[in-house]
């Protein structure tokens, strides 16, 4: 059989579709090999990197990964900690030890630290094979959230929302004057003027809808300028470290000019 890639880079493929034939290609994430074919395992966008063919998901649940910074909601108070919902198939546990360096006496009312329904910014510190997840609040920028609002976007689109080195999110910050924290799990906290918040929400929804299309940064810059009248510079890297609030830029970005 001939060795060739049957689809173009950045093409959308459906599960079961043959991406390439021949043994000289390697199946990456989201693909599998059957005999001499590489087949898509998900609905997504193809990315060919040398000999490795991988598939970038465009939809799907958030998979918790070590060291991800996420925004979580307190859903239960346990004997020695809290159960947090992190917008994934599994909930996580925040233990007292990881929550605060304060001394908490035995039998104390834990809701005085985090009550049901509170939102916190935390980091995933352990994921087991059975998907038991531990999170921690110890680290720069990890804290309880007060005020502002929370929106949810698809977690697959978070790398695009953050942008390269946080360029996209700092552009939105610059234009709307909001404080913004983007969790890797797709929850975004924003706090600013009512108008600024509304514009920022619209901006994130727009990024989410157009995440798979190229030239997004420039388009967003123009859109933000039109909406707010604030001139934003898409190419400049963020000058000041933005309070260490965004998650780390994701290792894999969607293709397309950034």
Partner 1 sequence: MSYTKRLDGRGFEELRPMSAKVGIIPRADGSAMFQIGKTMAYCAVYGPRELHPKFLQNPETGIIRVNYNMMPFSGHGERVRPGGGRRSKEISMVMRNALLPVLDLKDYPNSVVDIFVELPQTDAGTRCAALCAASMALADAGIEMKDMVTAVATGRVEDKIVVDLNYYEDSHEDGADFPIALLPNSGKVTLMQMDGEMTKEQINECVKKAKEACKKIYEVQKAALKERFRSK
Binding site for partner 1 (CB under 8 A): 12, 14-18, 30, 32, 34, 39, 41-45, 57-61, 63, 89-91, 129-131, 156, 210, 212-213
* Least spacing, CB of residue 160 vs partner 1, in Å: 13
Side-chain half-sphere exposure of 167, counting CA atoms within 13 A: 18
Q: DSSP string spanning 213-224?
A: SSSHHHHHHHHH
Which residue carries 């123009």 as its tokens? 222
Name which of 27 and 192 has its Cβ closer to partner 1: 27
Q: In the numeric block, which tokens belong to residue 214?
A: 């190229």
C-alpha to C-alpha distances, 37 to 3, 33, 55, 57, 230, nearest whole angstrom: 9, 6, 15, 20, 51
Q: Report d(CA 84, CA 128) in Å as an integer.
A: 16
Name which of 85 and 118 has its Cβ closer to partner 1: 85
Name which of 31 and 245 has its Cβ closer to partner 1: 31
* Least spacing, CB of residue 178 vs partner 1, in Å: 25
Name which of 14 and 241 has its Cβ closer to partner 1: 14
* Least spacing, CB of residue 258 vs partner 1, in Å: 17
**E strands present in the chain:** 4-5, 12-13, 18-21, 26-27, 31-34, 37-40, 44-49, 52-57, 69-78, 81-85, 92-95, 119-127, 133-136, 149-152, 179-182, 187-191
Name which of 113 and 254 has its Cβ closer to partner 1: 254
* Least spacing, CB of residue 43 vs partner 1, in Å: 4
Name which of 35 and 239 has its Cβ closer to partner 1: 35
* Least spacing, CB of residue 177 vs partner 1, in Å: 29
Classified as helix, coil or strand, 167 is: helix
* Least spacing, CB of residue 237 vs partner 1, in Å: 28
């Amino acid at each position: 059989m001939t060795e060739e890639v049957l689809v173009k880079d950045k093409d959308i493929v459906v599960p079961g579709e043959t991406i390439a034939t021949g043994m000289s290609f390697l199946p990456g994430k989201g693909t599998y090999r059957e005999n001499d074919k590489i087949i898509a395992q998900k609905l997504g966008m193809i990315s060919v990197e040398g000999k490795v063919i991988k598939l970038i998901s465009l939809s799907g649940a958030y998979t918790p990964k070590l060291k991800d910074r996420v925004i979580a909601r307190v859903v239960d108070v346990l004997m020695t900690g809290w159960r947090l919902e992190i917008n994934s198939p599994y909930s996580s546990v925040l233990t007292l030890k990881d929550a605060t360096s304060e001394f908490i006496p035995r039998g104390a009312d834990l809701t005085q630290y985090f009550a049901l329904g509170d939102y916190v910014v935390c980091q995933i510190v352990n994921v087991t094979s059975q998907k038991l997840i531990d999170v921690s609040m110890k680290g720069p920028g990890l804290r309880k959230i007060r005020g502002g609002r929370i929106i949810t976007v698809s977690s697959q689109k978070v790398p695009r929302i953050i942008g390269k080195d946080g360029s996209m999110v700092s552009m939105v910050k610059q234009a709307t004057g909001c404080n913004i924290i983007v969790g890797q799990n797709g929850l975004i906290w924003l706090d600013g003027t009512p108008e600024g918040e509304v514009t920022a929400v619209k901006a994130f929804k727009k990024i989410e809808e157009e995440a798979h299309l190229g030239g997004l940064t420039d388009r967003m810059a123009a859109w933000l300028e039109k909406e707010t009248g604030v001139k934003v510079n898409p190419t400049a890297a963020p000058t000041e470290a933005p309070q260490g609030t965004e998650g780390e830029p994701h290792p894999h970005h969607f293709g397309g000019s950034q």
